[in-house]
Amino acid sequence: MKKRNALILSSALVTMSVLSACGSTTEKGATGSATPATSTAPAATQANAKPVTLKYYTWDNESNQAKTQKIIDGFHAKYPNVTVQNVALVPGNSVDSMKKMDVLMSSGEEVDVLQYSNIDETLARAATGVLAPLDEFYAKSNVKPEEDYFINPKVNGKYYATMMSSSPYFVLINQDALKEANLPLPSFDWTWDDFRDYAKKLSKGEGNDKRYGAYFHSWGEYTNLIAYSELKSPYLTSDLKPAFNDPSFTYFFNLRRAMEKDDKSVKALADVVGAKLSYVTEYLNGKAAMLATAPFMLDNVMNKEKYPHTFKSVIAPLPRSSKSGEQGVTNIAGSYMSIASNSKHKQEAYDFIRYLTTEQEARLDFSGYKKADPKLIVDRLYGKAADLIDVPSLTSTIFDKRVKTNFDPAISAPYGNQLKAVLEKGFSKFILDNTSAEEAQKWMMDEADKIAKQNTK
């Protein structure tokens, strides 16, 4: 397996999110400023080219569609012969949008450019042949992906997506609760044991009026944030074997149980799932003092009309596994742009995704493009929200030179989304059925082996 250096997030980094983007209701933020690196022909030359219409499929809500249109308008100015149609499949819902996109593509619907909310979903589609490899376009435009983007999804040695957004995880903390508990803002040297201690001290009250010290959502990332930040893959070892027997799963599973059952500093997973709780409202309604999240959450923090609250949020780094663990390691979520394999306009589609991923003046979120200027972006996006977001702690947390991810995109499989489902089910068995961590891990390893064998026949 080809080795890669860890991705360093220095001052050139621009970010969640997603959900991790991992969520079905995540809204995009807005981003940056820097000169696009897109290599384009002069507009006068483009104007004489044959008219082309591209269909670009997203999950933009009404507000984000308007913001996306500003970027599209800039692209139209450089490529006057190309018209881009932004088709929002399920506004505000990335998961349902991806499912609907699959149906459209299987039915032969005309598709040119697609956006996926995480790397697992991207690789799963690339492996089925519905996405076009980008290698020839990178070569023609003299683009070296590893030099330009933080993470580059590959299948069988070919590139299938360009990173659109980059969203490093951190911990949002209610500043009022922090001051009330007389606790300092955590620094890069804090650990998950420290996080547990903070959660106990930040908890307050009883019953419906209780404020929990922290909130863990139902997504796979929250079952073991160490695996998503410190391992090269949360699901696989370097030889592509299941990684669910890693000691970090035992530790984090037991940490979650102790915080829920013993400390009562986090809401029970049964309540989170049963009541279909929102991580946004739990934090912004003051029901939880801390939330491990990513920049996609910051738009919600600024939306006082929808989520009325008066406290300011301060930002701390994601904790490390132990005092001997490396400081600054975090999970980096992201969204990705791909070209449909049946697109009749692949060159124009590539020109569009290259523009979309490098343009900085009207962006919707932090960029996956390494050469953007993130500090200017932060000031523009959050500088006017000083009463709600502590910008200095945000900037120092995200853009510290120590911040990086250990994730290696070479250690991945197209069935990664299935492995994530195994992780979520395994944790549910552990916390809801009261099994041991070791029993849950054995079940996960067995299920992961079955999936691997099914996908390698």
pLDDT value at residue 179? 98
> pLDDT, tens digit, for every residue of 205-240?
999 899 999 999 999 999 999 999 999 999 999 999
Same domain, 303 and 188: yes
Last residue of a domain, one of 317, 341, 372: 372
Residue with tokens 């074997």: 241
> Has residue 454 been placed in a domain?
no
Work out the widest C-alpha separation in the chain, in whole angstroms. 70
Instruction: Let me know: does 314 contact 395? Beta carbons within 8 Å.
Output: no
**Number of other residues whose CB lies within 10 A of the CB of residue 63:** 14
Same domain, 323 and 342: no
Share of the chain above pLDDT 90, in %: 64
> pLDDT, tens digit, for every residue of 107-127?
888 899 999 988 888 988 998
> pLDDT, tens digit, for every residue of 45-88?
455 678 999 999 998 888 788 888 989 999 999 999 999 999 99
* Amino acid at position 239, single letter: D
Same domain, 178 and 163: no
> Has residue 349 been placed in a domain?
yes
pLDDT value at residue 48? 64
186: which DSSP letter? P
> Has residue 425 been placed in a domain?
no
> Has residue 388 been placed in a domain?
no
Please determine, for residue 137, whether its predicted confidence score (pLDDT) is greater than 50.
yes
Which CATH number belongs to the domain containing residue 137 in this structure?
3.40.190.10
Last residue of a domain, one of 276, 308, 329: 329
Same domain, 114 and 212: no
> Has residue 413 been placed in a domain?
no
Please determine, for residue 391, whether its predicted confidence score (pLDDT) is greater than 80.
yes
pLDDT value at residue 225? 97
The CA distance from 360 to 362, in Å, is 6
> Has residue 447 been placed in a domain?
no
Please determine, for residue 363, whether its predicted confidence score (pLDDT) is greater than 80.
no
Ranking 174-188, 238-252, 389-403 by mean pLDDT, the lowest is 389-403
Last residue of a domain, one of 316, 345, 372: 372
Q: Is 357 helix (H, G, I), strand (E, B) or coil?
A: helix
Same domain, 301 and 351: no
Please determine, for residue 148, whether its predicted confidence score (pLDDT) is greater than 50.
yes
Same domain, 102 and 178: no
Cα separations (Å) of 110 from 100, 103, 454?
Answer: 14, 12, 31
Same domain, 95 and 202: no
The tally of domains found in the chain comes to 2
Same domain, 316 and 342: no
Q: Is 216 helix (H, G, I), strand (E, B) or coil?
A: coil
The CA distance from 237 to 285, in Å, is 40
Structure token digits, residue 198: 């903070």
The CA distance from 196 to 315, in Å, is 17
Sign of CA dihedral 295, 299, 302, 303: negative
Q: Is 299 helix (H, G, I), strand (E, B) or coil?
A: helix
Please determine, for residue 181, whether its predicted confidence score (pLDDT) is greater than 50.
yes
Same domain, 163 and 127: yes
> Has residue 220 been placed in a domain?
yes
What number is the average pLDDT over the span 364-369?
81
pLDDT value at residue 344? 95
Same domain, 366 and 321: no
Same domain, 128 and 202: no
pLDDT value at residue 457? 66
> Has residue 455 been placed in a domain?
no
Higher pLDDT, 400 or 260: 260
- Full domain range(s) for residue 209: 170-234+243-293+295-329
What number is the average pLDDT over the span 139-156?
92
Same domain, 183 and 55: no
